[in-house]
Structure 1
Amino acid sequence: MHGAPPEIGMRLHDLLKAIRLIKQHRSAAQPAIPTGLLGLLTEIDRLPTGCRSRDLAEHAGLDPSTVSRGVATLVRQGMVAREADPHDGRATILVVTPAGRAALSDALRWHAELITSALDGWSADDIESLQRGIDRFVGDIHRALNIHETTEAAP
C-alpha cells in the first residue's frame, strides 16, 4: 500500500472529536467518575486481581505521572483502593472498590445505550465490519509503533 490517504487522518480527527463529545456528555450524565478517568478505572478493573501503578501505566500506554495523579483522584473519590501486594509487602496493588464497580457499571451502561442508539439502523454486518475494522486498526497501530501487549486483561 502506498500510504494512507489524507482522508483517513481527517476521519480520525472526527472520531477523536466524537470521543471528546461522548466524554463531555458522560461526565454531565454520569458524574460519579471524574472527567477523564473512566478509561483508567476500566483498565484497573480489566487487569487480573489488581495491579501496580507502573503496570497500569504500561498497559494503558500512559505516562506513570499521569497514572499516579489519576489513581490518587480515584482513591480520594473512593473508586479505587490501594491494598498490600500479597507477593511484596513493600508494594501496593490497585483494586476497584464496590463504589467504583457500581459507578463503572453505570457508566458502561450509559455508553452501551449511547452506542446502541448511534448504531440504530445499522445492519449486523455493518456493526461486525466496524468492530473488525477497529480491532485490525488498533492492532496494526500497535504493530507500526512496535508496541507489544505484555499484560493480558482478565476475561
Structure 2
Amino acid sequence: MDSTAGELGLRLYDLVRTVRLLKQHRAEEGQAVAPGLLGMLMQIDKTSGGCQARELAQRTRLDPSTVSRSIAALVADGLVERRPDPSDKRASFLAVTPAGRAALAESSGWYGDVLRRALADWTPDEVDALSGALGRFARDIEVALGNHDNLEAAR
C-alpha cells in the first residue's frame, strides 16, 4: 500500500471512530430511536407508499434476518407500522408512524446541531466539497468491490 492509500486508510479509521462516537453520545441521551435503527427508519421513510422488508434488505444491503429484527424493534417502539399488502396476503408494507416521523425530526435536529458546531469554521465550499467527496467515495468503493453482494460479510 502506498503512503497515500495508507494515509487515507487512517482517515477512514478516524471517520468510523467518529461515527461510533456520535452513536455513543446519541445512545447516552436515551433518544426515541436507537442509533443502530435510525438508518433503517430513514430508509423506510424514503418510500412514500411504504415498502416491504425484502425491498428494504436489498436497498440497505443487509441480511433479511437483520432487517427483520430491526423492523420488529421499530414496530415494538411504535415508530413503524405494518400495513397489509393487497397484492400479496403473505407480505406487508412498512410505513413510518407519526411517532416515527417525530423521532426522525428530533434526530435530524440533533445531528444537524452537532454538524453545525463541528463545521462552524468551515466555508460553505469546504462543506460542499466534503459532502461531494464522501458521496463519490461511497459510490466508488461499491464499484471497486463489484457491488459486493455478500450482504454482511464486511460487518
- TM-score band by shorter chain is 0.7 to 0.9
| Structure 1 CA distance for aligned equivalents of residues 21 and 68 of structure 2 | 25
Q: Is the 8 A contact 1:30 1:106 kept in 2?
A: no
Could you tell me which residue of structure 2 aligns to residue 91 of structure 1? 91
SS of corresponding position for 2:146? coil
SS of corresponding position for 2:56? helix
Over the aligned positions, Cα root-mean-square deviation in angstroms equals: 1.8
**Cα drift, residue 19 of structure 1:** 0.2
Q: Is the 8 A contact 1:85 1:91 kept in 2?
A: yes
Question: Structure 1: any 5+ residue segments left out of the alignment?
Answer: 149-155
Residues 142 and 4 (structure 1 numbering): CA distance in 2 closer, same or farther, change over 3 Å? farther
| Structure 2 CA distance for aligned equivalents of residues 95 and 138 of structure 1 | 27
**Cα drift, residue 89 of structure 1:** 2.8
Could you tell me which residue of structure 2 aligns to residue 14 of structure 1? 14
Number of aligned residue pairs: give it.
Answer: 147
Q: Deviations over 1:64-88 (max 9, x none)?
A: 1111111101100000001011332
SS of corresponding position for 2:90? strand
Q: Report the AA paired with residue 127 of structure 2.
A: I
Could you tell me which residue of structure 1 aligns to residue 75 of structure 2? 75
Q: Say if 2:63 is the partner of 1:63.
A: yes
SS of corresponding position for 1:89? coil
Q: TM-score, normalised by structure 1?
A: 0.88
Among the aligned pairs, what percent are the same residue?
46
Q: Is the 8 A contact 1:75 1:81 kept in 2?
A: yes
| Structure 2 CA distance for aligned equivalents of residues 4 and 38 of structure 1 | 33
The answer to which of 126-135 and 81-90 deviates more is 81-90
SS of corresponding position for 1:81? strand
Could you tell me which residue of structure 1 aligns to residue 103 of structure 2? 103
SS of corresponding position for 1:36? helix
Question: Structure 2: any 5+ residue segments left out of the alignment?
Answer: 149-155
